[in-house]
Amino acid sequence: MRALPIVVVLLALGGCATQAQQEMSRLEGVASSSGPAIDACDQRLEQSAPYQALKGRLGPRDGAAPIALKANQEKATPAEVQEIYALHQDYLMPCRKLRLELASKAHPAFVAVLAESYSKNDATLVRLVNRKSAGGNI
């Protein structure tokens, strides 16, 4: 009789581990099935004419902007502002939408994190467009 509560607890813990493993497998499945679509969207963005025209201003997409870029005091030209608008509308927004849709399949909390990041990135672009900043990460 004493062993029965221990067996019940062990079975419950075993079920939790199995649920955690199942959730990890589900998340890995979402990530692996989403990867090609995200990569293709990123590739279109990075090969686009607006991105190519602005990449010296925007810094790397996969890390922090170099200090030289952050210290740059040059303001965006009117032509660069037009490129920013085109980049944002035609390339950034579709990739963001895709990422948000795919993140929602994984977990709602991921959507909130991405949305906050996108908001910060947009604030950087607005400063650049308003000629208050020289650039940064997108």
* Residues 52-97 pLDDT 10s: 998 887 777 777 778 887 777 888 889 999 999 999 999 999 999 9
Amino acid at site 26? R
Which contiguous run of DSSP H or E holds residue 13? helix 3-47
Q: How many helices (H) and strands (E) does the chain have?
A: 6, 0
- The per-residue pLDDT for range 17-38, each reduced to its tens digit, is 687 777 677 667 766 777 888 8
- Integer angstrom CA distances of residue 100 from 85, 95, 117, 130: 21, 9, 11, 27
pTM higher than 0.85 for the full model?
A: no
Question: CA 99 to CA 74: how far, in whole Å?
Answer: 32
Report phi then psi at 107, rounded to 5. Answer: -170, 135
